[in-house]
Amino acid sequence: MNKKEFKKTIPILNGWIHSPCTLSAEILASSKFNSITIDLQHGMLDFNECRGILQVLGKYNIYPIVRVPSNETDIINKCLDAGAKGIICPLINTVEDCEKFLESCFYPPFGIRSFGPTLASLNQTNYFIKSKSETTTIIMLETRESVLNLSKILTLKLLDVIYIGPFDLSISYGTSPNEIFKNKEMIKTYKDVLTKVKKAKKIAAIHCISAETAIKFLRMGFDLVTVSTDMGLLKKSLDEEQNRIIDFMQNFKSNSS
């Protein structure tokens, strides 16, 4: 899937990988996600495992994204060279932070990316020429400072997506992580951010914990929602199935006594 196709799928259903397991990556890639993000910031995997998963995703009609651990040129370049088409950068608080990130994503004269698309160019002709229009730049909005600086950040033309990280953002506002999807002040903040992002004609994204919260934000007008993580979905499914069996066993014992 290329960038044009990715944007055409709006609203976008995004998967999220925390596990280094390529088998679970295959399961996610063969499902109904439009894009999948490999998380190098909080995921339990390193770059080599990320590279292997990118190669797995490359077999499917999935838009591959990597969240890098920090705003550093070397890891951003390496992930793009390995085949990531979108990069999510955390810890973007100012327009200067965002400019640094964008520079790392593009070759001169638009940035400072070093040329060496080791895997990215294997099945793509004219990679150097196409890379500018094919790379999707995504920043995390996760602090009060980043919200205050959003209007300036949105003026940057090479920025594509604003991704709300509701946990860190809510903590920054003094709200408990347990209240991030219920707190009225935070809901208002999400709506205010959404309005500004839409006005700037960028893509608005938010991280969710369930289908219920994802539907809530899609109705609000968000363009991309992430439904939990691979490990979160596995635990939720496991808990639901086990609880059904445990409930049956307890009822069975009660009826038998």
| pLDDT confidence of residue 254 | 77
Of residues 249 and 154, more confidence is placed in: 154
- Whether the per-residue pLDDT at 60 is higher than 90: the answer is yes
Contacts of residue 44, defined as CB under 8 A and 6 or more positions apart, other chains included, come to 18, 19, 20
Looking at the chain, the whole-number percentage of residues with pLDDT higher than 70 is 100
Which amino acid is located at 133 in the chain?
A: S
Residues carrying an active site annotation: 42
| pLDDT of residue 183 exceeding 90 | yes
Cβ atoms of residues 99 and 156 within 8 Å: yes
Looking up tokens 């500004």, which residue turns up?
Answer: 196
Q: What is the DSSP string of 152-211?
A: HHTT-TT--EEEE-HHHHHHHTT--GGGTTT-HHHHHHHHHHHHHHHHTT-EEEEEESSH
Average per-residue pLDDT for the chain: 95
Residue 32 is predicted with a pLDDT of: 96
Give the model's confidence band at 124: pLDDT under 50 very low, under 70 low, under 90 confident, else very high.
Answer: confident
Q: In CATH, what number is assigned to the domain containing residue 222?
A: 3.20.20.60
| pLDDT (0 to 100) of residue 257 | 64
pLDDT at 252 over 90: no
Residue 109 and residue 8: Cα distance in Å, rounded?
28
* Mean local confidence (pLDDT), 153-181: 95
Which amino acid would we find at residue 1?
M
The HSE-up count of residue 134 (CA atoms within 13 Å, CB side) is 20
pLDDT of residue 6: 96
What is the pTM (predicted TM-score) of this model?
A: 0.94
Please say whether the beta carbons of 61 and 31 come within 8 A.
Answer: no
Q: Quick count: other Cβ atoms within 10 Å of Cβ 8?
A: 11
User: What tens digit of pLDDT does each residue of 80-101 get?
Assistant: 999 999 999 999 999 999 999 9
Question: How far apart are alpha carbons 235 and 208 in whole angstroms?
Answer: 16
Statement: residue 123 has pLDDT above 80: no
Q: Is the pLDDT of residue 73 over 70?
A: yes
Give the total number of structural domains in the chain. 1
Return the closest-CA partner of residue 33 out of 56, 63, 7, 68. Answer: 63
User: Which residue range(s) make up the domain with 39?
Assistant: 3-256
